[in-house]
Structure 1
Amino acid sequence: MFPLISIIVPCYNQAEYLDECLQTVLEQTFQNWECIIVDDGSPDNTEEVAKRWVEKDSRFKYLYKSNGGLSSARNAGIEIAAGEWILPLDCDDKIGNQYLKLAEEKFNENYKIIYCNAEKFGSQNGFWQLPDYSRKTLAVENIIFCTAFFRKNDWKRVNGYDTNLIYGWEDWEFWISILKDGGEVYKINEICFYYRIKETSMITEMSSIDGNMKIMTSKNIIYKKHIAFFTKELGSFQSLYKQNKKLIAENNHLKNLLNSKRYTVINKIFNLFKL
């Protein structure tokens, strides 16, 4: 008996991409899946588009919730998922038709996370070059995109995606939570994930001054939450401090904001480990 895979598709104000995304789910060669479309209080016609797919194939399911952000939407979908294995898929991205099949072949080999090679499309095109996985590299940066397979039991064990991370980086924190106490990762040597790059996206917005502040806010939450992991893998907070120091040096306004009362506790943590 093949295991059930639950694909979780959160959608907020991006209904224009939803058909293209869900078509790649429907085209999977592996058939034992369910796809939960989570409408995160979207003001557009997400409900209308999603319900057409529910009528087309009963494996598609629709869930509406009030707006709570990406982590909240993923958690809501996973909560009702029936599958042992979970695959998040943002509604503007796509997957190759062999992705579920190639991943399922590795489900019995005790991997914590299974992912693949990826390609960008949209306003940028080409192979998405990411560093090979290691725990030390994961401590420096996120090297696994969101559309990777994991067990629902692991999601429960780490209390899901952190809903405090409203400005992004929730994937990085989630992978750290799952892997920090051990576990293997497998990368399929095929391009099975297609990541849409838009002219205006969360990533491009993060390049602004306000975006840098949001990055710092998210990273500070992650650093505080997983101090033991970062210390174990990096030896100290020296690397983290240097990253922040470089960011601060790039913009005096950002420096003033980081020296404000709001960041007093965080600055003390970094200064504690400063050489």
Structure 2
Amino acid sequence: MNNSLISIIIPVYNSEKNILETLKSVHNLSYENYECILIDDGSIDKSKNIISNYIKDIPQFKLISIDNSGVCTARNIGVEKANGKFLLFLDSDDLLENNFLNETFNNYDNWTDVVATKVIFFGRSSGEYLPNYFNINDLLHENKLVITCLIEKDKFLDVGGFNTNMKDGFEDWDFWIRYINKFPNVRIIETTKFYYRLQQKSRNRDIDEKKETLLRFQIWQNNFKLFSKEFINPKLTFEYKNIRNSLEFKVGRFLMRPIRFLLKK
């Protein structure tokens, strides 16, 4: 597995503002045995021209253009074209630390199915996230991983890739449910960072309550056999956590405190 080829797959749709920074982030990686496959998903801005101009003298980069089909189809096509034993999905506005491939690859062994890293949020707000140990039951409650983790191509294909019926969001979560259910060994490292850009407007941020309900129902339909075998504790779901952390819940609990005290007497 020494110095294995890693295929970085970047779907691109109208990303002219940030794609150049992302390309430079990949080009500056210290690990040299990689290929970068960009799938232009029918962009109507200058993304394609920016990419073409930047990669014209860099043989490790390849641009493929398709009609607009959504991120799931774009990523799946990228995998079809990939030559690497390993895959790394990267969105067109996110960034990798210089040593990202070295560190994730060096921490991948025969026990490992996924290498995840610390996530640094930037853009409209900042913060960081390091995944903790979790199992498939935890993952059914809420997503625990960003899509930019190192995995093996054969394992990706084994679980069927990205489900193209998740066109409006949550496709990463749906994928991880199927992947972790079959390949559960996640190694979490702090020796490198993935930089996740939080946009003012994004597909996931624009999901309203009705759409979120439909997407969660679609995830249940896609994985109903697994959901039927696992007990889902509603107090662990992110909906419940959102309610408990809401101002309305805290105010209501404060107002109810003297009433509960009287009822106990």
Find the residue that maps to 1:142 and give its secondary structure: coil
Residue pair 1:118, 1:191 contacting (<8 A) in 2 also: no
1:1-275 matched pairs, under 5 angstroms = 1-128=2-129, 130-206=131-207, 211-233=208-230, 235=231, 239=234
Q: CA deviation at 1:154?
A: 1.3
Q: CA RMSD in A?
A: 2.3
Cα distance per residue 1:37-77 (max 9 Å; x no partner): 11000101121111123213110000000001111111111
Q: CA deviation at 1:29?
A: 1.0
- CA 1:10–1:116: 2 relative to 1, 3 Å: same
What is the CA–CA distance in structure 2 between the aligned matches of 1:94 and 1:245, rounded to whole Å?
A: 32
Q: CA deviation at 1:109?
A: 2.9
Find the residue that maps to 2:10 and give its secondary structure: strand
Cα distance per residue 1:111-162 (max 9 Å; x no partner): 1111100111111112135544332221110010011111111121112100
Q: Which has the higher helix share?
A: 1
Mean Cα displacement is larger for which, 178-187 or 89-98? Answer: 178-187
Mean Cα displacement is larger for which, 37-46 or 130-139? Answer: 130-139
What is the CA–CA distance in structure 2 between the aligned matches of 1:239 and 1:227, rounded to whole Å?
A: 17
Cα distance per residue 1:149-190 (max 9 Å; x no partner): 111111211121001001111111111111213430111113
What is the CA–CA distance in structure 2 between the aligned matches of 1:175 and 1:71, rounded to whole Å?
A: 13
Q: CA deviation at 1:238?
A: 5.9
What amino acid is aligned across from residue 219 of structure 1 in structure 2?
R
What amino acid is aligned across from residue 62 of structure 2 in structure 1?
K
Mean Cα displacement is larger for which, 164-173 or 104-113? Answer: 104-113
Residue pair 2:234, 2:240 contacting (<8 A) in 1 also: no
Counterpart in 1 of 2:257? none
Q: Please list every run of 5 or more consecutive structure 2 residues that lacks an aligned counterpart in the other structure.
A: 243-265
- CA 1:16–1:137: 2 relative to 1, 3 Å: same
Q: Please list every run of 5 or more consecutive structure 1 residues that lacks an aligned counterpart in the other structure.
A: 248-275
What is the CA–CA distance in structure 2 between the aligned matches of 1:245 and 1:212, rounded to whole Å?
A: 14
Mean Cα displacement is larger for which, 216-225 or 71-80? Answer: 216-225
- CA 1:30–1:193: 2 relative to 1, 3 Å: same
Q: CA deviation at 1:216?
A: 1.5
- CA 1:108–1:246: 2 relative to 1, 3 Å: closer
Mean Cα displacement is larger for which, 48-57 or 152-161? Answer: 48-57
What is the CA–CA distance in structure 2 between the aligned matches of 1:131 and 1:137, rounded to whole Å?
A: 11
What amino acid is aligned across from residue 201 of structure 2 in structure 1?
T
- CA 1:175–1:13: 2 relative to 1, 3 Å: same
Cα distance per residue 1:16-43 (max 9 Å; x no partner): 2011011111111111000011100010
Counterpart in 1 of 2:253? none
The number of equivalent residue pairs is 242
Residue pair 1:132, 1:143 contacting (<8 A) in 2 also: no
What is the CA–CA distance in structure 2 between the aligned matches of 1:227 and 1:111, rounded to whole Å?
A: 26
- CA 1:16–1:245: 2 relative to 1, 3 Å: closer
What is the CA–CA distance in structure 1 between the aligned matches of 2:211 and 2:234, rounded to whole Å?
A: 20
What amino acid is aligned across from residue 239 of structure 1 in structure 2?
P
What is the CA–CA distance in structure 2 between the aligned matches of 1:2 and 1:190, rounded to whole Å?
A: 19
What is the CA–CA distance in structure 1 between the aligned matches of 2:240 and 2:124, rounded to whole Å?
A: 32
